Amino acid sequence: MPQEPLSKSERMELRREHGFRELPEPVEKYLGPEYAMAFACLHCRTSNMRHFDLAPSEYPLSGECPVCKNKTFNLGRDFKPPKKSNEAQWKKIEFLIEHGFQFQKVRLVPTEMESVAYPKTLTEAKEFVVKYKKWAIKSGI
């Protein structure tokens, strides 16, 4: 009578018992910074994620672009950059940054987690800046 085939885990266990397989060494994981923040350059229209050994609230608001060496802006961990060729979206982003909105959460009620959605167009951004001006981080680039 034929014997049923062994499962993969059973075969591996047999190999280990007979010395044909060793258990893998445990890998120590390095715990780095809690968050990576998106930094975007308006000049070359690139975005990259950066880690800092700081609390997320202490991350710098701007830095230097690794591509063109111009100024980059910290747009938070949820920022999704548009394509380089999408001029309308980059103009909207520049307008929001000029008016102190670096894609930080805008919470109308501080004790709640719900936040206001960022505008999709430049026209909506102009209304957004007026409506939520008290949540702006700083004014001007």
How do residues 83-126 score in pLDDT, each as one tens digit? 999 999 999 999 999 999 999 888 888 888 888 999 999 999 99
More confident residue, 121 or 138: 121
- CB neighbour class for 33 (10 Å; exposed up to 12, middle 13-18, buried from 19): middle
Answer yes or no: is pLDDT of 63 > 60: yes
Give the model's pLDDT for residue 132.
93
Q: How far is it, in rounded angstroms, from Cα 60 to Cα 138?
A: 13
**pLDDT interval class at 31 (50, 70, 90):** low
Percent of the chain predicted with pLDDT > 70: 92
Q: Which of 20, 11, 66 has the alpha carbon at shortest distance from 39? A: 66
Q: How far is it, in rounded angstroms, from Cα 141 to Cα 47?
A: 17
Answer yes or no: is pLDDT of 62 > 70: yes
Q: How far is it, in rounded angstroms, from Cα 82 to Cα 45?
A: 9
Average pLDDT on 20-29 reads 74
Average pLDDT on 47-58 reads 83
**pLDDT interval class at 46 (50, 70, 90):** very high
Give the model's pLDDT for residue 130.
94
For 74-109, give one letter per residue: b (16+ CB within 10 A) or e: bbbeebebeeeeeeebbebbbbbbebbbbbbebeee
Average pLDDT taken over every residue of the chain: 87
Q: Which amino acid is at 119?
A: P
Q: Which of 100, 109, 110, 111 has the alpha carbon at shortest distance from 135? A: 100
